[in-house]
Structure 1
């Protein structure tokens, strides 16, 4: 039985009880709802894979109508983009490759031990998917976190779409005075930049563009690397909301039900379940049109549970869960405002960075802020939350600020913000998302009035301030030694 619950506090507890089975359900041969992933043509859970959600699933419409503002002309664009779909990090590759052993055990549970549950077992199609799955031996540590072919396509066609709706800004012939590009010191962001400019100017366009190398202290695109208080913050340890949710009835039941669904008479380790979820997400992002074998281990409701677990970690690590996080992107906010407030060249600024930089920037701008914080104890009431990493932090996520000239208005200069090609319209200080530039500047004047070198990492305690000074010095020394 699947129970759909409304966000009404009075029925939340009852709803939670109805939506889950007793913890010892697997002992009686039952685990969870009947569900066949391979036969589900919609697979709505693929839009809830947290920060590893495919961009193509959650991006805005391709018509371009969302960018049209009556009686206004777009004049400048500022793009802050995450790299596209990538491979796992080196350590993660090792744990994911070991899923082949788990796959063999699951198949044996079904075909030799006959230990599949009476209700909620994997269907034959899903079991066949799992039988055909294997770790790609070409994915090795030397390619850790590299951009994939799918990731390249995401950035290339993103550029094509933006150019189609803004041909006067994103011209198809490169002019160094009209374009400014930057990326971080990683293969995946550099490759994302190359894919983007290929979409704008054609194959191998990057060979004709000079980009300044990343600075030693890249406080524009990776400020968190130089802020010790941020780096040392706890988001997953004892006492955190993440840890509380791990120990909750919801997650305990999830591990029990997934284990039973896969034919185990005992609960798997949480890390094994997380590895399956990770492989599910990567597989689906790499091959958007094909069902991922490991996604078959989960029902759609269980994917929501795992999504919330990751949301809790990121919320407290890099978003509204800590006040410091609202200041770390001081330099990026200033850069955006400086670009928008003048009519000077360049017309286009495009930066390529990482998910943490994106979420920190959204936090600085106070976008997607709920009236309540995310916690382990309010999971059900936060089902319609604004802060959802699947929607705001998919692979290739991008925040875009567009300046419009509206000659018929008293305030000619306007700004609209877009996230993943969707307009951000729920700003109570703007008219349906169309903001006066003067209001944007006023809204974020605390950044323009601050010395970002000091403000971005200001935390309580002299030791934190000292650490924020020492860490950049260490980074500079290591950079010189590596040169």
Structure 2
């Protein structure tokens, strides 16, 4: 991992440092309920942008620190009057990672795409980019030390994210986390991947000291299917559902054929002097490179982001949300029970008086999204559809940039109280509100058990992969 981290550090020098100093044009946050007016592309210069609003719109490739507030008042979210935290159950997505093998291969070819775009722009009478952005694009290079054998590996920023989350939980719940390691007090487990294993290491090293992971017991994923942390990967119906999202009749594909999305493709072609020859998949790669580089280096912004307007980034985000809504959320009846084993584990571990007080699991974005679905959280009154982008753009609850960025985490805390015990739900270190709890997120323990009695009493082998 040290060699790999070094390669990412080298990448910074190739990527270039951006020093923001100005703002987006005044109308860039116009209401989506209207006509989707956007800034004129040439009114914006990424190299001197101070707002960087778009970096919060990258769906599951959003950097964690861009989403989470670091306000010290967050400590109040973990406080319950006359109560003491007694148990915590945490499900954490791995931190920022490299792309898949196919993504690395595509991104490795983007210097060719860059050359085509630059060549076209130099023929235009009116520049499509400000001079600073154009120069950054001309000087951009892919870091060829990133190879397919490193696909999905955690990067240095991902390690920092998990360390920060561990640090924060020590402040939020000191009686549970500010203590020496004891196998009877802490329970850890991760999936059998490099990115979750490294995330676990970052987390426990922050809790217990550098290289502590070598002495920390993490439950080994079983040789049989991992139904606790990756039940979805072992559900044929869920895998089929995922494949169907690529069909022409899926909401995702219908959105790609909509006038909104097709106008995006045409506008990017027109802006850079292409006569429709810049393909949709190439424009998607521009968005992909923009969000990966922005997540890898949160103090910088990828020059590829300068090729897309803020309105266009909103459109790409909605496309991603549509995909995950049907793949892992309330868009399918199948999804609510896929995380039955994890729900049952959470209920059991919070209910018993003995056993570990802190349970921490490291998994993936699908696990986080499906678990939220099982909780009944963030359910919109209206389903996301290809045709209701304008209606749902600014009001939808299912917004994956906020729900499941890199290092997304769900914390459920039980509190021992002078009267009735309480529970709090936290999503990305913020209160997750339910209508059966108080306005500040305090839920009654008895209501909690009643609300999720189905999962406590059900045979998960029977229901986890049934509609």
TM superposition shift of 1:140: 0.3
Asked if residue 244 in structure 1 is aligned to residue 254 in structure 2, the reply is yes
The answer for the alignment partner of 2:386 in structure 1 is: 376
Deviations 1:145-168 (A, max 9, x none): 000010001001110111122111
Match of 2:324 among 289, 314, 317: 314
TM superposition shift of 1:116: 6.0
- The separation in 2 between residues aligned to 1:211 and 1:46, in whole angstroms, is 34
Cα RMSD (Å): 1.7
Contact 2:42 2:130 in 1 (8 A): no
TM-score, structure 2 length as denominator?
0.90
- The separation in 2 between residues aligned to 1:102 and 1:125, in whole angstroms, is 19
Structure 1 gaps of 5+ residues are 22-30, 460-483
* Structure 1 SS opposite 2:152: coil
Match of 2:142 among 97, 118, 135: 135
- The separation in 1 between residues aligned to 2:28 and 2:98, in whole angstroms, is 36
The answer for the alignment partner of 1:331 in structure 2 is: 341
Match of 2:56 among 44, 47, 50: 47
The answer for the alignment partner of 1:387 in structure 2 is: 398
The answer for the alignment partner of 2:204 in structure 1 is: 197
Deviations 1:23-78 (A, max 9, x none): xxxxxxxx856322222101111101001000001113341232122222111111
* Structure 2 SS opposite 1:175: coil
- The separation in 2 between residues aligned to 1:224 and 1:116, in whole angstroms, is 52
Structure 2 gaps of 5+ residues are 1-24
* Structure 1 SS opposite 2:436: coil
- The separation in 2 between residues aligned to 1:393 and 1:261, in whole angstroms, is 32
TM superposition shift of 1:266: 2.7
Contact 1:79 1:399 in 2 (8 A): yes
The answer for the alignment partner of 2:458 in structure 1 is: 450
* Structure 2 SS opposite 1:265: coil
- The separation in 2 between residues aligned to 1:287 and 1:224, in whole angstroms, is 31
Contact 2:28 2:310 in 1 (8 A): no
TM superposition shift of 1:5: 5.5
The answer for the alignment partner of 1:401 in structure 2 is: 412
Contact 1:87 1:144 in 2 (8 A): yes
Deviations 1:80-119 (A, max 9, x none): 00000000111111011111101111221223xx22657x
TM superposition shift of 1:236: 2.7
Match of 1:79 among 68, 86, 90: 90
The answer for the alignment partner of 1:434 in structure 2 is: 442
TM-score, structure 1 length as denominator?
0.87
The answer for the alignment partner of 2:105 in structure 1 is: 94
The answer for the alignment partner of 1:60 in structure 2 is: 69
- The separation in 1 between residues aligned to 2:269 and 2:46, in whole angstroms, is 17
Q: How many residues align?
A: 435
- The separation in 1 between residues aligned to 2:178 and 2:349, in whole angstroms, is 18
* Structure 2 SS opposite 1:260: helix
* Structure 2 SS opposite 1:352: strand
